[in-house]
Amino acid sequence: MVVAVSIENAHEYGDIIPSIYRLRHQAFQVRQSYDVPFYKGMEYDVYDTPATTYLACRDESGVVRGCTRLFPTTRPYMIENLWPNAVTSMSLPHAEDIWECSRFCIDKNQSVHIRRKIHGELLTAFLEFGLENNISWMIGVMTPPIWKAVFIRSGWPIEFLGPIHQLNEREGILVGKIDINKKILTSVREKFGVQGSVFEENNAKQERKRA
């Protein structure tokens, strides 16, 4: 199950935000050696603000095993500030119905079966959250292999907004347009065998109705 966490409701979930930052530290700084800020085993940057929403998948003990970050493009956002030249097919978006997604990661120490389950739940949560909040699409940046592994093979087509932008001699990135609609939600649910909502809160409401 997934929770949507912001500064407004984080107190309801214990140390969920530090747990998110710990997973990100392992994924991006320890495992991939990205040049990102970290402190006491937690990765963060200037886009972790009161405007940020996190989607987090927790295990039974409350430890975050998969997460991603969502940020409105009505505020200065990462792609706009760091890689504006990577977007060539359109103007950089600034709209209430367009958000940026970033920092997608899954705990590599989990089994293949569990990682696939987290993957499906996080993608479904993207779509559920987007539809519930009237988000038309999201903008994101990843390397081509990660775009393919995370979204395209999952039945979620991506429109790339420019050519590959080289970060260094060995790695390039693509900025993509991630559409949010019910057709893609159905496709992703079928791909991963997801039944019903993946949000803990929505499932709790359904349980109370049945009780």
pLDDT in tens, 118-163: 999 999 999 999 999 999 999 999 999 999 999 999 999 999 999 9
pLDDT over 90 (residue 207): no
- Residue 211 banded pLDDT, cuts 50, 70, 90: very low
For residue 200 the two structure tokens come to 């803990």
Average pLDDT over every residue of 194-210: 67
pLDDT for the residue numbered 170: 81
The alpha carbon dihedral of 66, 40, 81, 142 has a sign of negative
Q: Where are the alpha helices (DSSP H) in 151-199?
A: 182-192
All domains in the chain, ordered by first residue: 2-199 (3.40.630.30)
Tens of pLDDT, residue by residue over 61-96, are 999 999 999 999 999 999 999 999 999 999 999 999
pLDDT for the residue numbered 206: 44
Percent of the chain with pLDDT over 70: 95
pLDDT for the residue numbered 80: 98
pLDDT over 80 (residue 203): no
Asked whether 73 and 138 are in contact (CB, 8 A), the reply is no
Q: Would you call 185 helix, strand, or coil by DSSP?
A: helix
| Ranges 22-36, 45-59, 67-81: which has the least confidence | 22-36
CB atoms within 10 A of CB 10: 16
Return phi, psi of residue 97, to 5°: -95, 15
Chain CA centroid to CA 40, Å: 23
Sequential DSSP letters for 41-103: TEE--TT-STT-EEEEEE-TTS-EEEEEEEEETTS--HHHHH-GGG--SSPPP--TTEEEEEE
Higher pLDDT, 35 or 197: 197
What is the rounded distance in angstroms from the CA atom of residue 61 to the CA atom of residue 23?
15
- Residue 210 banded pLDDT, cuts 50, 70, 90: very low
- Residue 202 banded pLDDT, cuts 50, 70, 90: low
What is the rounded distance in angstroms from the CA atom of residue 185 to the CA atom of residue 178?
12
